[in-house]
A and B are shown apart, each in its own frame.
Chain A
Amino acid sequence: MTETRGFGAVFFPLGVLATFSIIVIAPLAAACWPEEGSLWNALPTLIGSGSTWKLMGSSLIIATGASLGATLLGAPAGHALRYVSPRVRGILLAGLFIPMAAPAHVMAVAWIELVGHGGLLASWIEIPFYNRAGVIFVLSCVYFPIPLFATLAASRRIPPALEEAARLHTGWIRAFLGVTVPLAATSTLAGGICVLLLTLLSFSIPSLFQVPVYTSEIYERFSATHDAAGAAAAGLCLLAFVSLIATIAVRRLRRHMGQLQHTPACMEPRQASRGAICLASTYCLALWAFTTMLPLLAVAVRALPPAACVAAWRTARGEIMCSLAVSVSVATGGIVLAFLLARIRGGMLPLLSAAAFCVSGPVLGVGLIRFWNHDGLRGMVYDGLAILVVAGMARHLVFPHLGLSIASSQLPACLEEAAAVHGVSKWRRTLCVVLPLLAPTLVLWWSLLFMLAWGELDASVLVAPPGWTPVSVRLFSLMHYGPSSMVAALSLVSTLFALGGAGGGFLAYRLLRRQVYG
């Protein structure tokens, strides 16, 4: 199929690429641009230093532990959810997603309030959080939804006939272990590797628990010795390491991914026995209570009396409004840009988006200052709330970018081709064919991006304009000197807002999905 390339067809991708460059590439380049060669001088010193490798080792131990823990918690739930009724599954999924929707530092505080020193259950069980095991435990409880969703998605593609055939020859358990688990294993493993990569990059939880990791090396280079070049070099090393793991994982996993690729996405298994359904539901409920309800309940108890929540709202009303405005703008702007980028289908662009996330918040923050803090239009952006929107978009664009690229590539090409044959321009095809089909996915990614922007701290803290403080920054400050009831109350209020955004988006997704796909 040939198509005449008009003015819009040429300049539209250029405009999208220019926007992407201004928001993501330029700050990244500004952060890593060598100042009189200082970055390149810092790299050999960094690589040759024993402490670099020691910290990288510590990060790797924590990431591996958290990945294993999250997979052990999440994968069984992913399998179990397949056997419960669709209505109950929806409710349980929403509940099990909460630990990831709440800001990570809030969940860390929640666990300390529950079983840390002086916590609600400390007289029965007290966990010493201030070590690697504590960090691994909390990270596992925060990130287990990733392997859960990965496993559920794969297990729902398994043809029930395969499992039934196995059950004819052997028992239910052996069929499950011999057929269902191996078929979903690649996806479960992919989820585990996602957790590994995210925890390698995590900073707030190890920092709260005083456990030295590689990301703390980057932060300390900035704040202790003001060594921006050294921090950028350390950020680049982290980026290289994460990229290496991701590349190896993708190559290895791709070989095994094909098994379920051509089966329909939602295949319900035959009605399981009452016992199996009961067991599955009990495990999911227990997991939900353990990882979500108990810690958040501890925060709620600490925040009592209710007046503390009102006081927290009054104290941080400005910050909450600031975060709300920024998060909505980040989510909306990010989705529009990610959608347009997905339409362009540039092969290297998702990698650049990923680089902005992996290079760590402060490195990106410095890049944002260097690029935007100039007179003129850039200065106007830097001096206002817009810089927080730019920071949030630059840092988290990778997620909707990758998600929408995949979703866009899976749309049936025949629909667009039919429109093109009738002479409909690319712009109109995007608006009238692709956009309605992707609308549910766009809304889902909007809510995820809102949630990420709500908890964003690392880059925002460096560029927050005078007079505007996001609630995440305020909460982190309060954790230092504020009374614990106020910290708990604000944590609760902050979590409710994050969940409100995510929940609203999820409901809109369900509605749109029903409208579009029936």
Chain B
Amino acid sequence: MGWTRILLVIALTSLLAGCLPGKPEVVVYTSLDEMYSQPILDDFTASTGILVKAVYDTEAAKTTGLVTRLIEEKDRPRADVFWNNEVVQTIVLKGKGVLQAHPSQAAKPFPDHFKDPQGFWTGFAARGRVIIYNTNLVTTPPTSIQAFLDPQWKGKAAMARPIFGTTATEAATLFALWGEEKARAFFEGIKTNGVAVLAGNASVRDAVARGDYAFGWTDTDDANGAVEDGLPVKWLFPDQDGIGTLIIPNTVSMVAGAPHPEAGRELIDYLLSPAVEAKLANLRSLQIPLNPNVQTPERVPKLSGVKTIDLPFEAAADQMEHAMTVLREVFSS
């Protein structure tokens, strides 16, 4: 058989294979750490037979995030569902017309504060922004984020770079809550007080656990991981007598023009099911269930017992881009 014939056979076989009806699939872009999200997506495939193709974020490495990618792909989206590990960037995407409404029945039990009134996104399985401290170095732990400005702690505290991830969400929230002048002064004060700015929340946890810093600002999932590993750390919700703690939910949303809308809707409904929230609560990530019908495990703090920052997420989203521009300037050197 000549080369031409062999190539012709290969081309025809490929063409036929391409025309055969494939397994149903859904494409999800997710910024939740792969170690937590992948088992849940695998369970979805096992229960529905729908193949999940996931793209994970590498936010800590400051590579361009999934949000930028979704914006750039807006005219011909490849993703069906965006599972974000925070909320403000999701609202930014809504503002840019990247998302479409999907008023899911599964979203009904969730509190109004944690979902979009038009159904563009729904929040579930939340984390708190907490203070983690080293029990060998701290006897009376700081109970407010104002401690980062306290000269007593000069050079002894750490936080993640506030232009990425949940630290950026918290920064935008503070800009919305306090106004630009006060928020800018706060972050400039942080810089002046020698607070170490590390790669991400996991780096903050590790540095505090090692004793490089007395305390740091991180998320509940990272802090709990260190506690479960038996490291000399504890954590607390800050500002329970003041502004409160920022609680940040995961959000799930439907991408406008999703190539597999039916499978996308099915995945969203699955992610909002009580089983998924319960599973996320039982993992090391210790995510707080927002659906009141989900039994919260003993070790997971109850939302009702925490004073939270009283501010709609949309207000933080409005401040996001401006806050990031200011903070890039503050932390550029």
Determine whether the beta carbon of A476 is less than 8 Å from that of B58. yes
- In this assembly, does B307 line the interface, its C-beta being within 8 Å of a C-beta of chain A? no
Complexed CA–CA distance, A409 and B243 (Å): 71
Q: How far is the CB of B195 from chain A (nearest CB, A)?
A: 13
- Output the nearest chain B residue to A58 by Cβ-Cβ distance: B333
Determine whether the beta carbon of B58 is less than 8 Å from that of A461. yes
- Output the nearest chain B residue to A55 by Cβ-Cβ distance: B332
- In this assembly, does B118 line the interface, its C-beta being within 8 Å of a C-beta of chain A? no
Determine whether the beta carbon of A461 is less than 8 Å from that of B333. no
Determine whether the beta carbon of A464 is less than 8 Å from that of B200. no
Of residues 186 through 207 on chain B, the ones whose CB sits less than 8 Å from some CB of chain A are 197-200, 202
A461-B63 contact in complex given A224-B324, A369-B72, A375-B76, C-beta closer than 8 Å? yes
Determine whether the beta carbon of A225 is less than 8 Å from that of B72. no
Complexed CA–CA distance, A207 and B198 (Å): 11
- In this assembly, does B164 line the interface, its C-beta being within 8 Å of a C-beta of chain A? yes
For chain B, the bracket of interface size reads: 35 or more
Complexed CA–CA distance, A458 and B69 (Å): 13
- A365: chain B residues within 8 A (beta carbon): 64
- In this assembly, does A485 line the interface, its C-beta being within 8 Å of a C-beta of chain B? no
B156-172 near A? 1/0 per residue, CB < 8 Å: 00000101100010000
- A382: chain B residues within 8 A (beta carbon): 78
Determine whether the beta carbon of A467 is less than 8 Å from that of B54. yes
Determine whether the beta carbon of A117 is less than 8 Å from that of B333. no
Determine whether the beta carbon of A383 is less than 8 Å from that of B78. yes
A226-B61 contact in complex given A212-B332, A469-B56, C-beta closer than 8 Å? no
For chain A, the bracket of interface size reads: 35 or more
Determine whether the beta carbon of B27 is less than 8 Å from that of A466. yes
Determine whether the beta carbon of A225 is less than 8 Å from that of B61. no
Determine whether the beta carbon of A212 is less than 8 Å from that of B63. no
Determine whether the beta carbon of B328 is less than 8 Å from that of A374. no
Of residues 481 through 513 on chain A, the ones whose CB sits less than 8 Å from some CB of chain B are 481-482
Which stretch, A192-200, A215-223, A418-426, touches the partner chain B?
A215-223
- B62: chain A residues within 8 A (beta carbon): 207, 216, 219-220, 223
B29-66 near A? 1/0 per residue, CB < 8 Å: 10001110000000000000000011111111111110
- In this assembly, does A373 line the interface, its C-beta being within 8 Å of a C-beta of chain B? yes
- A373: chain B residues within 8 A (beta carbon): 72-73, 75-76, 78
Q: What does DSSP make chain A's interface, helix, strand, loop or mixed? A: helix
Complexed CA–CA distance, A473 and B28 (Å): 17
- In this assembly, does B99 line the interface, its C-beta being within 8 Å of a C-beta of chain A? no
In the complex, which of the residues A220, A362, A370, A467 contacts B53, with contact meaning CB atoms closer than 8 Å? A467
Q: How far is the CB of A301 from chain B (nearest CB, A)?
A: 19
In the complex, which of the residues A369, A370, A458, A469 contacts B63, with contact meaning CB atoms closer than 8 Å? A458
Determine whether the beta carbon of B61 is less than 8 Å from that of A476. yes
- A482: chain B residues within 8 A (beta carbon): 35
Of residues 28 through 55 on chain A, the ones whose CB sits less than 8 Å from some CB of chain B are 51, 54-55
A51-B329 contact in complex given A461-B64, A466-B27, C-beta closer than 8 Å? yes
- A207: chain B residues within 8 A (beta carbon): 61-62
- A306: chain B residues within 8 A (beta carbon): none
- B324: chain A residues within 8 A (beta carbon): 224-225
- B79: chain A residues within 8 A (beta carbon): 466
Determine whether the beta carbon of A224 is less than 8 Å from that of B332. no
Of residues 364 through 396 on chain A, the ones whose CB sits less than 8 Å from some CB of chain B are 365-366, 369-370, 373-375, 379, 382-383
Q: How far is the CB of A196 from chain B (nearest CB, A)?
A: 22
Residue among A208, A210, A224, A469 with most chain B CB within 10 A:
A224
Of residues 204 through 239 on chain A, the ones whose CB sits less than 8 Å from some CB of chain B are 204, 207-208, 210, 212, 216-217, 219-220, 222-226, 228
Determine whether the beta carbon of B64 is less than 8 Å from that of A481. no
Complexed CA–CA distance, A34 and B114 (Å): 38
- In this assembly, does B113 line the interface, its C-beta being within 8 Å of a C-beta of chain A? no
- A220: chain B residues within 8 A (beta carbon): 62, 163, 328
Complexed CA–CA distance, A465 and B69 (Å): 11
Determine whether the beta carbon of B72 is less than 8 Å from that of A370. yes
Complexed CA–CA distance, A465 and B202 (Å): 27
Determine whether the beta carbon of A225 is less than 8 Å from that of B76. no
| Further 6 A-B residue pairs, CB within 8 A, beyond A117-B210, A225-B328, A481-B60 | A118-B210, A223-B62, A223-B64, A226-B67, A362-B64, A458-B63
**What are 27 residue pairs bridging A and B, where the CB atoms are less than 8 Å apart in the complex?**
A54-B333, A117-B210, A118-B210, A212-B332, A219-B63, A222-B65, A223-B64, A223-B164, A225-B324, A225-B325, A226-B68, A226-B71, A228-B71, A366-B64, A373-B76, A458-B63, A465-B55, A465-B78, A466-B28, A466-B54, A466-B55, A467-B27, A476-B61, A477-B58, A480-B61, A480-B199, A481-B60
